[in-house]
Structure 1
């Protein structure tokens, strides 16, 4: 089967950083779906692993943790899907990625794809949707339809996770949603997704919030450059507020949180699948819930850039955009070259 992967961790401008490959087709395990991949999207985790995780000697590593495709076969213990089903999912960090014509995924972390979206549009959603949903409801523990009178600040509102988190918070809670963005186009993007207000994270956040008439906030979802904004985040949070983090700060000292009794929460959407937790199936369930919201017209795709078919050259361009820090929404690719 066709696939895209790498054999050495290299800068993305090196043609060997991602290569077109021919690999054996995978075999589904007992609870797996064998999926013919139709579209994928690219996330920061793809670039981080490519740069920092060297494959075993002589082996190729395939990336990609967002996919839409059609089920070709199911494992012996699968109960929720059948051949021909169109599914979407984010996969597992401890298994090969989905930048391949055929891919296997545990049925518990997959769901039927939204009917109202094409393959590329749907591929933009799984990983960031799971991250945003878990952050909002499992980490910050905002009740469904709750949060009235409280404010959520989303640092990095125009990125992949921020773009879906704004929508989930607006559609499923009563929170006031404030996003950060530093360019005119990203500000407009956040407002179009439903943010009540947008402040500029290239300036001191606490002052930006005060100038906007918002003042202190109850909770912060820090999605990017947490180390850079950390002091301002703490200043902006109310006493006994909550901070949820997803990015990889080199060091994150919890001691400055003590004075305000701020609680710190980590979110990694791969935790459930990596450890096969007892509630692993919640990821499939929440994806099904969001697919229904999409088909009802309440949530829209966050796809914002199409990079053509799934091949090494196009994926290198997508990785380069992600690494530039200027991606808005999600980057998607669809179909394999004939």
Structure 2
């Protein structure tokens, strides 16, 4: 959000707001907290079940909408205007048309998942900038700012240690083994997970 989307630099004419798609997942759960604690953005998170909607609200989302229904209409119904930022953590291809509709002209859209295809032409009319984040890019290409990921992770750990943000650990499935890996994957694939699922040790 800070490194790629530059959320601290407003989009002129846009609502000072961010939509976080997949707000109850592991990444979304941290993103909600960072946006709420470190910016003055209005945080709109998506979650589709009562328990994940409650989770997103508890983490600090100002508004929670249901990504299993048309997102753009729900954002419009909030009455705050077209958000300048959208951060998608999952199913970006399925939500792209909604993103293109809801986001303000010249807004910024970031994603972290791996859609098979992405029709970026949907973003052209509004001159939406597209920002992809892969945390290994700097290391893979040995970029001059390769230590940035180290600094980012240290900053997040400081925020956790000082209590500014809280852990998003939701389930601990015990040691790493085939059975627990299958359980974890089954939960993730079911679409019913929230926060982070942890396995540790052998």
> Aligned partners of 1:181 and 1:187: how far apart in 2?
5
> Aligned partners of 1:173 and 1:281: how far apart in 2?
24
1:212 aligns with 2:78: yes
Structure with greater helix percent: 2
Alignment check: 8 A CA contact 2:76 2:102 kept: no
| Aligned equivalent of 1:101 | none
Structure with greater strand percent: 1
1:243 aligns with 2:92: no
Alignment check: 8 A CA contact 2:170 2:197 kept: yes
Alignment of 1:35-50 (within 5 A): none
Give structure 2 stretches of 5+ with no counterpart.
Answer: none
| Aligned equivalent of 1:137 | 2
Give structure 1 stretches of 5+ with no counterpart.
Answer: 1-135
* TM-fit CA distance, 1:283: 1.2
| Aligned equivalent of 2:27 | 161
Alignment of 1:149-298 (within 5 A): 150-298=16-164
What are the Cα deviations for residues 248-278 of structure 1, in whole angstroms up to 9, with x where unaligned? 2221122121111111111111111212222
When the two chains are superposed, the root-mean-square deviation of aligned CA atoms in Å is 1.6
* TM-fit CA distance, 1:212: 2.5
Instruction: Rate the CA distance shift 1:297–1:324 in 2: closer, same or farther, 3 A.
Output: same
Q: What's the TM-score, normalizing by structure 1?
A: 0.56
> Aligned partners of 1:288 and 1:248: how far apart in 2?
26
Alignment check: 8 A CA contact 1:147 1:175 kept: no
Alignment check: 8 A CA contact 1:220 1:233 kept: yes
| Aligned equivalent of 2:191 | 325
> Aligned partners of 1:316 and 1:189: how far apart in 2?
25
> Aligned partners of 2:91 and 2:149: how far apart in 1?
26
> Aligned partners of 2:194 and 2:5: how far apart in 1?
25
> Aligned partners of 2:19 and 2:195: how far apart in 1?
18
> Aligned partners of 1:210 and 1:262: how far apart in 2?
18
| Aligned equivalent of 1:107 | none
Alignment check: 8 A CA contact 2:171 2:197 kept: yes
> Aligned partners of 1:199 and 1:167: how far apart in 2?
17
